[in-house]
Amino acid sequence: MFKKDLKQEFIHMITRHQGIIHKVCRIYRDTAEDREDLFQEIVYQLWKSFPSFRAASKVSTWMYKIALSTAIAKFRKNRALQPPTIPLEGIEAEAVPAASQHPEKERLYRAIAQLSTAEKAIITLYLDDYSYEEMAEIMGISANHLGVKINRIKQKLKTLLNPNNHETR
């Protein structure tokens, strides 16, 4: 494939599936500026690995795998540089433009923000209706182990979303 064709195919793929990248950025970053930086890093990592993509899995599965790996690596790097902060109140409107119109969606994002990095990845895939087999492939674990993790994450989210839970208000 010619380099120009490869570039066009990549741009088309990113345009078509950019929602995956935006979703991962929203889960792993709190501010618009940080989400933009992470978006650029994910696209760069996708571009680096695009020539070796063999379509053994769906494009969306491949993109999630790279996006989540990049986000988790950047999350860990940033976390080592500064103490963790989870915004539970006072999120600026520009930081979450779409969610501000949907309070329930924002509550869910706030609860997800409190999960571990691996739990965030799993629940993101689960909410996008990936099969257990696809999620297990992306996460590098067995489907059975994934099922156990999903049940634990659901229980954790129920607790976090409980209106009687003082921290999520």
Per residue in 93-122, pLDDT tens?
333 344 456 788 888 888 998 999 889 999
> Tokens at residue 101, please?
């119109």
Q: How far apart are CA 135 and CA 124, in angstroms?
A: 10
Is the whole-model pTM more than 0.75?
no
Q: Is the pLDDT of residue 75 over 80?
A: no
Total structural domains in the chain?
1
8: containing domain: 3-168
H helix runs in 50-142, sequence order: 59-81, 103-113, 117-127, 132-139
Cβ-contact 125, 64 below 8 angstroms: yes
Per residue in 133-151, pLDDT tens?
999 988 889 999 999 999 9
What is the CB neighbour count within 10 angstroms for residue 164? 7
